[in-house]
């Protein structure tokens, strides 16, 4: 089964991630005991490919926050449910 992807543009570069509601259970299991900040880093490191990580590394925290909101909205998830 191929997972659907969430696509996001930052400038003229593209980020591709699994849909937020399709993150593997193992990803969530691995990050569950971490601080909120560490969960965010680990979630991206486990979900993004190297090309997307390279784009993420150039973004500000405000831009990352906008991306996370769009990523969750795309799957119909609101903050606090993840």
Local confidence pLDDT in tens for the 82 residues of the chain: 456 899 999 999 999 999 988 888 999 999 999 999 999 999 999 999 999 999 999 999 999 999 999 999 998 876 554 4
Q: For residue 74, what are the domain limits? A: 24-82
The whole-model pTM stands at 0.82
Query: 4 in a domain, yes or no?
Result: no
- How many domains is the chain built from? 1
Query: 1 in a domain, yes or no?
Result: no
Q: Is 14 helix (H, G, I), strand (E, B) or coil?
A: strand
Query: 12 in a domain, yes or no?
Result: no
Query: 33 in a domain, yes or no?
Result: yes
Pairing of strands 13-18, 5-10: antiparallel
- The DSSP element (H or E) to which 9 belongs, if any, is strand 5-10
Query: 73 in a domain, yes or no?
Result: yes
């Amino acid at each position: 089964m191929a997972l659907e992807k969430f696509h996001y543009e930052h400038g003229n570069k593209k980020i591709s991630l699994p849909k937020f509601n399709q993150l593997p259970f193992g990803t969530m299991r691995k990050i569950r005991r971490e601080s909120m900040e560490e969960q965010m880093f680990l979630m991206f490191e486990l979900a993004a490919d190297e090309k997307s990580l390279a784009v993420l590394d150039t973004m500000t925290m405000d831009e990352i926050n906008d991306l996370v909101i769009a990523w969750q909205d795309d799957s119909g998830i609101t903050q606090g449910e993840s």
